[in-house]
Structure 1
């Protein structure tokens, strides 16, 4: 009787992927950088419509989960942590200002009292010190949490959208300004990486990495490397004809200026209407009109640019799903802020715990869609 062969490691067969799983990211199927910004701006719009800390925490958690699931290992993808720390700092700073400068919110639950500094008569309405109530601290926390959620959403867009690819999608009229922003966003992470590399090298050589002397010895090579990269970028931009413009008629230039200026004013007025509680009715139409005028002005202004684009990014179905999920979250929270304002803006006088609106929370969870439909980065793809 022939013995059965011993079980051992057989040939490695690739694990079959699920039919509906998100594919691995490649150059041809990557989500458009503008879709990530539209998704993040949708979450930020939703955060601007509420002061409920439960919903704000849910929005921040949704943004953080998507960033964790779909960000790459690029230097600009590490900015989310900095925005998260900045949001926590904003909350602490808002609470500190409320304690030191007081608050117009009346309250009956006095926690403690600080020595009040007398001020002259012309400084009426300003208070330094005095009593601190629980109501004013809760109001300050709600206000700071709202701003922190906005910062977290913007940080998510910075961590997910490739700035170089976003530059390719900008209108030709904004190309020069976009180049300046992209160069600044690209060089800052490189300088941080240079500092870490030099500190590691000094530590391996047994040299100190702290103190004024060490900082000066590290800073000089960092500045030298940044200068060399700046000269290299300037030479490459000059070789590609950066800054060359085409001649356009004066009438087109005047029309472009009028459309762009009118569109920006309309966007500002419409945004204010959406953010203000009284202007929700006229905010959206004015915002849409301003966007239309601004886009028309940018299209006319693009005639001055003679640049070409090699393999422009495509706006595919996954980009529509990513951008649409943010739009759904924004529209749902805008509607909920008018239908149930008490749930989205909990009161502090009298001091009551915030309610958890299940409908608004379910709408916020729609923002998780990019974590399942966007392509998986290569370094985080399933084994």
Structure 2
């Protein structure tokens, strides 16, 4: 009992890979269903956990950007359905003048009659894609990209550096936008709307580029990209194991996706391919010259986060096999879905538990402390006067 109480009251950051496994599990669940109950609960789960466990870092403040991107994805999908989408259904919503493009443009029909069923299908498809984007944004908001790079194997350091810098573009732009907007406000420039947005657009891009160049110089000064000298034989062995692993994984996945092939052939090939990849990464990691100071812990919180994130994915796979009608909803004719995948719903409820079961953030990363630390000294002086 004392150990459980000490765990619940502990304060530390969760391993970034645990958050990515959790988010990718929810994204995989969403990709296997168009049931609106599953999509709505998955979106609510992502927002809940991010609200409970995000800090005050730049990547944490970028989560609203992913929500905005998801919203515009839904809007874009609906607009494109009205413009050039397949007009299916029986309940007419409204009718627009239509015309057909010439044959060299594939003879696409523009506008025309819009039916409620087709519009609902477009809305659900847009919501599904938006939820997967929000899942990636949730992982990017909860996981520190620098610690994510630190936890990568040495063989993937260069590739991981490029990927993580790409993922940190949105958080960096969000931090630059907040800082530039605060500076403009202190100078008395309160221009809003498109005019105000156009004024900060170029400074935001310039500030993001400057930070990227500073990061590149800093990484180069710390020895990133440098490798130890290895023999040609070891390099050939690493390349051979890597090639065999990639070929094995591709063949295994292809055989698994082919429903006519038995699983007792596909699974051993996939496992063998993954084994070759692991051996190749282990051998290649020996060429890393940098040491790891204060390695990231992987404990009970990380295992709970991974299990909670993968539970809805496992439930979705089993439900898709034994009860596919509850996962895939047909909207023609239009009706309210009366089948609810209870197993998947229970898995998504478990996916929300990391909002409570993971350790609380350290006190120096809390949003309230960060907000107080960012209070301008000028405003403090005005208050004292």
Normalising by structure 1, we get a TM-score of 0.80
What is the CA-CA distance between 1:321 and the residue it aligns to? Answer: 0.7
| 1:242 aligns to 2:228 (yes or no) | no
When residues 128 and 288 of structure 1 are mapped into structure 2, their CA distance, relative to the original with a 3 A threshold, is farther
Q: Secondary structure at the match of 1:351?
A: coil
Give the CA deviation at 1:303.
3.0
Where do residues 177-216 of structure 1 align in structure 2 (5 Å cutoff)? 177-185=159-167, 189-190=171-172, 192-207=174-189, 209=191
CA offsets 1:55-92 (integer angstroms, 9 cap, x no match): 11101111111111111111101222111221121111
2:358 match: 374
1:73 aligns with 2:56: yes
Q: How many residues align?
A: 360
Q: For 1:294-333, what aligned pairs fall within 5 Å after superposition?
A: 294-333=277-316
- Separation of aligned partners in 1, 2:66 and 2:136: 8
Q: Deviations over 1:79-134 (max 9, x none)?
A: 2211122112111111111111122x742222223222222335446322222222
Can you list the C-alpha shifts for 1:300-346, whole angstroms capped at 9, x where unaligned?
33233222111111211111111111111110111111111111111
Task: Indicate the RMSD between aligned Cα atoms, in angstroms.
Answer: 3.5
Residue in 1 aligned with 2:158?
A: 176
Which sections of structure 1, spanning at least 5 residues, go unmatched?
A: 1-15
- Separation in structure 1 between the aligned mates of residue 235 and residue 260 of structure 2, nearest angstrom: 33
Which segment is superposed worse, 111-120 or 265-274?
265-274
What's 2:328 paired with?
345
Distance 1:110 1:168, change over 3 A: same
Q: Contact 2:180 / 2:203 at 8 angstroms: preserved in 1?
A: no
- 2:179 & 2:105 partners in 1: Cα distance? 52
How has the CA–CA distance of structure 1 residues 127 and 224 changed in structure 2, closer, same or farther, with 3 Å as cutoff? closer
Question: In structure 2, what is the Cα distance between the partners aligned to 1:112 and 1:279?
Answer: 45
Task: Write the deviation string for residues 200-250 of structure 1: whole angstroms up to 9, x where unpaired.
Answer: 3343333465687996699569837853x5565445434322222123333
- Tell me if 1:25 matches 2:7: no
Alignment of 1:1-383 (within 5 A): 19=5, 22-26=8-12, 30-103=13-86, 106-124=88-106, 126-185=108-167, 189-190=171-172, 192-207=174-189, 209=191, 219=202, 223=206, 227=210, 229=211, 232-261=214-243, 263-264=245-246, 285=267, 290-354=273-337, 355-377=339-361, 378=363, 379=366
Q: Which stretch of structure 1 is more off in the superposition, 132-141 or 249-258?
A: 249-258
For the residues of structure 2 that align with 1:90 and 1:273, how far apart are their CA atoms? 34
Structure 2 unaligned runs (5+)? Answer: 369-385
In the alignment, the residues of structure 2 paired with residue 176 and residue 59 of structure 1 have an alpha-carbon distance, to the nearest angstrom, of: 33
Partners of 1:225 and 1:141 in 2: how far apart?
Answer: 34
Rounded to whole Å, the distance in 2 between the matches of 1:289 and 1:99 is 48
Deviations 1:168-209 (CA, angstroms, capped at 9, x unpaired): 111111112322344455565455434433443343333465
Task: Write the distance in 2 (CA, Å) between the matches of 1:156 and 1:170.
Answer: 20
Larger-gyration structure (1/2): 1
Contact 2:38 2:345 in 1 (8 A): yes
In structure 1, the residue corresponding to 2:336 is in which secondary structure? coil
Sort the Cα spacing of 1:349 and 1:258 in 2 relative to 1 into closer, same or farther, 3 A.
farther
State the alpha-carbon separation in 2 of the partners of residues 214 and 144 from structure 1.
Answer: 27
8 Å contact kept, 2:62–2:170: no
Mapped contact 2:181–2:200 kept (Cα < 8 A): no
Counterparts of 2:260 and 2:219, CA distance in 1: 45
